């Protein structure tokens, strides 16, 4: 998102990206960091579970298809130190997959390949939601 003077407006978030495709993980991590976010990366569920409990996070962006499980299992098993805004990403965009993501606790489900503008909009939503949780002391929706 850019302001009227052309400066980028950043709601800096602490994000964990989980993606088993190395190039996609690298590019997504670099993109998010270029926006001013602090990004941790994991290539599989086991690594993501370790990362999830290690440091406070604001956002989880997880592929549904992982080499050692899936994003739905990851969200169910993760023990985040605080609530997170969870975004599922998948090549599967069927209504049933989106419903399963919602039922698992993901706030949003985006289909790959996705437009970066869509991701930016969702991250703005995440920043607003996370700020609300922090102000209210809420447990949030995931974690």
Range of the domain at 122: 14-136
Give SS3 for 29.
Answer: helix
Question: 4 lies in a domain?
Answer: no
Give the CATH number of the domain where residue 58 resides.
3.40.50.2300
| Residue-level length of the chain | 143
Question: 8 lies in a domain?
Answer: no
Residue-wise pLDDT for 70-82, tens only, equals: 999 999 999 998 8
> Could you give the number of structural domains in the chain?
1
Tell me the pLDDT band of 133, cut-offs 50, 70 and 90.
confident
Residue-wise pLDDT for 34-75, tens only, equals: 999 999 999 999 999 999 998 899 999 999 999 999 999 999
Question: 61 lies in a domain?
Answer: yes
Give SS3 for 100.
Answer: helix
Percentage above 70 pLDDT, the chain: 88
Question: 108 lies in a domain?
Answer: yes
């Amino acid at each position: 998102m850019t302001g009227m003077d052309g400066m980028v407006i950043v709601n800096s978030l602490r994000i964990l990206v989980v993606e088993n495709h190395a190039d996609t993980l690298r590019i997504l991590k670099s993109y998010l960091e270029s926006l001013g976010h602090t990004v941790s990366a994991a290539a599989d569920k086991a690594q993501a579970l370790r990362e999830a409990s290690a440091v406070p996070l604001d956002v989880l962006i997880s592929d549904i298809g992982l080499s050692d499980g899936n994003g739905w299992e990851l969200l169910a098993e993760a023990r985040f130190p605080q609530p997170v805004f969870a975004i599922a990403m998948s090549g599967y965009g069927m209504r049933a997959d989106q419903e399963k993501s919602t039922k698992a606790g993901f706030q949003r489900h985006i289909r790959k390949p996705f437009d970066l503008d869509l991701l930016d909009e969702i991250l703005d939503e995440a920043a607003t939601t996370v700020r609300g949780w922090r102000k209210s002391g809420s447990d949030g929706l995931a974690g």
